[in-house]
Amino acid sequence: MGNFQNQQKLKIFLMIYIFYSSIHSKCRCNGEEKNEKIANFVFGDSIVDVGNNNYILSLSKANYVPNGIDFGMPTGRFTNGRTIVDIIGHELGLGAFPPPYLAPTTKGSVILQGVNYASGAGGILNETGVLFGGRLNMDAQLDNFANTRQDMVDMIGEEEAMKVLNKALYSVTMGSNDFINNYLTPGFSKLEQHLVTPQAFINSMIDKFRLQLTRLYNMGARKIVVVNIGPIGCIPYQRDINPTAGNDCVAFPNQLAQAFNTELKTLVNHLRTDLPDSIFVYADSYRVFTHLLDNYQSYGFENGDSACCYGSGRFGGLIPCGPTSKLCYDRSKYVFWDPYHPSDAANLVIAKRLIDGDTNDISPINFRQLVNS
């Protein structure tokens, strides 16, 4: 009789243990964190490209040393280590880094965990980056996402595919190249600026972006983070081609970025209101990155204006990072990896601010809150 009672007690104990374990596997008891894996889809330019440009004929490539020196090998990431979205996905426990869409191994069940569509030199406008040859602008990235969506439907059925897509995280980092490699391109900018005012150019970007973000929503996206344009007048490239700025960031590119960002925030707020069940989030990378540059020493950096991987120019901004480039003595002490892109260490600072930042950094909720919503 005693053994029977003990067995019954053991069964009850195991049932209670399994019940509470199943609850804990889904969330922490304080409700702050869910461990449920969701898919992670990434759209953008070279800031978040993880290798799509490796597979197209383009002058915008990073699949050679010393790029990726702290990642283990060159992968097509335009930095020494991880991109911002790499870090965000890892910190939030979203699993493996989303693979580049164009990689031949990005097929089958892999796509159910998310895909990266970003492309160096890509922009909102289709003409952006034409000097680089091949690149995937936002329209092309959405076309590729449509292909992924159909592959998912074919694989698991439309109802299950839509469940995955509706729960997934989407991040869109676009717009910098529309200025850097379009409106501000040396030799072309004066003609462009004479024919089109800055506000008219920005309006064309916003009108196009509205259509693109709405298309993304119509294909099933609901949790969408739109990252604004950073202080592009502070990158080593802009500093070197505008020497009259001295030690300061170049004013005009930053003014363009700020003017665009103002319109973009309004657009994101309107989309959140107008599109049912959507959670559009506005990530203020301009504010976050400017704070980093203004206070780089307090973040542990020693250089906030020059490229770690450099060739020529006062700030090392005139020649892209490549095999003949020189490297700084300590990559973790430089905000900029190359003439255009942040270092892994800077990406970590930015990512953490966007993951857990307040509404001044990212609104109406941050990445962690969005994933748990």
In this prediction, residue 46 carries a pLDDT of: 98
In this prediction, residue 208 carries a pLDDT of: 98
Strand partners, 178: none
Rounded to whole angstroms, the Cα distance separating 147 from 102 reads: 12
In this prediction, residue 263 carries a pLDDT of: 98
Query: What confidence tens digit (pLDDT) does each residue in 280-305 have?
Result: 999 999 999 999 999 999 999 999 99
In this prediction, residue 192 carries a pLDDT of: 67
Half-sphere exposure of 270 (CA within 13 A, CB side): 13
> What is the sign, positive or negative, of the torsion defined by CA atoms of 177, 367, 254, 330?
negative
How many other CB atoms are there within 10 angstroms of residue 63's CB atom? Answer: 15
Domains of the chain: 40-371 (3.40.50.1110)
Residue 341 appears among annotated catalytic residues? yes
Give me 145's structure tokens: 């996402």
pTM of the entire structure? 0.90
> Which of the residues 240, 284, 338, 344 is marked catalytic?
338
Burial track 211-221 (b if 16+ CB lie within 10 A, e otherwise) = ebbebbbeebb
Give me 223's structure tokens: 């949790």
Query: How does DSSP classify residue 161?
Result: H
In this prediction, residue 32 carries a pLDDT of: 44
Query: Contact at 8 Å (CB) between 276 and 310?
Result: no
Helix (H, G, I), strand (E, B) or coil at 43: strand
Give me 221's structure tokens: 């996206």
Rounded to whole angstroms, the Cα distance separating 343 from 82 reads: 8
In this prediction, residue 24 carries a pLDDT of: 37
In this prediction, residue 195 carries a pLDDT of: 82
| Residues of the chain scoring pLDDT < 50 | 1-35
Nearest to 102 by CA among 141, 44, 52, 46: 52
Rg (CA), the chain: 22
Query: Contact at 8 Å (CB) between 250 and 186?
Result: no
Half-sphere exposure of 234 (CA within 13 A, CB side): 21
Residue 248 appears among annotated catalytic residues? no
Rounded to whole angstroms, the Cα distance separating 334 from 146 reads: 38
Q: Is the peptide bond before 98 cis (omega within 30 degrees of 0)?
A: no
> Which of the residues 305, 306, 341, 361 is marked catalytic?
341
